[in-house]
Structure 1
Amino acid sequence: MAAPAPQTVIEVRHWTDRLFSFKTTRDMSFRFENGQFVMIGLPVNGRPLLRAYSLVSANHEECLEFFSIKVPDGPLTSRLQQIKVGDHVLVGGKPTGTLVQAALTPGKRLYLVSTGTGIAPFLSVIKDPQVYERFEMVVLIHGCRFVKELEFGRLSVEAVRSDEYLSEIIGDRLIYYPTVTREEFVRKGRVTQLLESGTFAEETGLPLLNPAEDRVMICGSPAVLQDMCALMDRLGFEEGALSKPGSYVIEKAFVER
């Protein structure tokens, strides 16, 4: 594995008492596919303490961006949430992950189903022009506990839609569907329930999930991964991988620490 290299923090933003995002510089030699994750961290007691983090930034952008939760006693996040502009963060040199287009067979619609910071890789995916060449429609579903936790994702989607270059490619083919579970909002409920009950289809006018036409990427909490995989299996979807593309893929390396 390539040794992690220090990158300079160029932006930090705290969204809630549990969530923050940050941007770092990027080595010109650093290459990745949209949807992948990389090991990042800090030196602790003279040794690198690393965790897997999805890349929010697209592979055509000049900087790297990450979205993280704050765990008071977390070995890494308790330290990482203290970073400031000018500090250094270690970034591994070997991105990887299953949330890439090559792990899916061709389809009509691409569903990106996320909860919490699991939206991170999909904010990279929706900035990929090739995704819109391959799929007629891209649907980003994001579930959080509270409305304020949706803010980073919402603003990121708005930035993509207003981008001078991407907006012409995307048009009206990107659907953003946020939901919360613990307070009143225009939409309330768990993502799996909204999909399985038909509520999502009713509200968007899209057909029910269908393995013949739809492809699904999933990134979220262990409970969401378990429930979504069960739903995929019931509907006849087949899990894919780079070695054998399928109709849905999940990311198990979603960072919670």
Structure 2
Amino acid sequence: MKIKSYLVNLKESTARKERTLQEISGYSLLDVEVVEAINGKNLSEEELDLLFDRERFIRKYSRKPAAGEIGCTLSHRECYRRLLDSDNEYALILEDDVCFIYPDDVEFILKRAVGILSADKSCIITLSRYHCYYPKVLHSLSGYSFYRIWGAYGTCAYLINRCAAKKLLSIDKPFLVADDFEYMHLNGIYIQGISPFLALDASTMQSISSEIMDRDKKDNIKIPFKYRLKNMILTKVRVGLIKLNILKLKAQINLNTR
């Protein structure tokens, strides 16, 4: 079997691309296609207005989007389009700073994870960090457990099926950060995560710098009350579910333990 894999990479970041291609070259399971990332810093104001809903982003996150965040979201949407244009039922999305924590387990886990992706509902399986999850174990595989996820960090490595890609592309003008898994979860996409984490981005591991987070100051933006109220209610619901032990918070990453 082969898993179609899209590697997101800025054209000028050749060293990052070569590092990642070298890391994943030993996985015969992966059919890798490099997707040239969109550099949000190179987009004009007119292009930004055409491609991304910055006003809706501000209402949701109470801040302005970083140019790198916009480019990241648009780049992942290009991967979704390529998946839908193909005959594949699912794809693995990788970013060029992905690092596999347990490289010997990657193919074993991926072979079984694709079997967990339902073909008739929107599904994503993140192989990286998550911070809020439902404690019931959905699947167990040789020391790894899968959980349903409420919120997660990063998009360095995740599996997505056609239904989820179609749902995300149904938003004509995107307004989300690429890793807003909470929004995806609350809008009908079944998100799963793995424990222990199988992948991290190299910027988290502090081996290379991030190309996305280019904001150097906090925004002081007041949004209309109805949007602030919606965000406050959602926060209270999440906190309430945690207090009731319906949700749990993930402990800090420890790379030395399984």
Higher strand share: 1
With the shorter chain as reference, the TM-score category is: under 0.3
Higher helix share: 2
Higher relative contact order (CA 8 A, sep 6+): 2
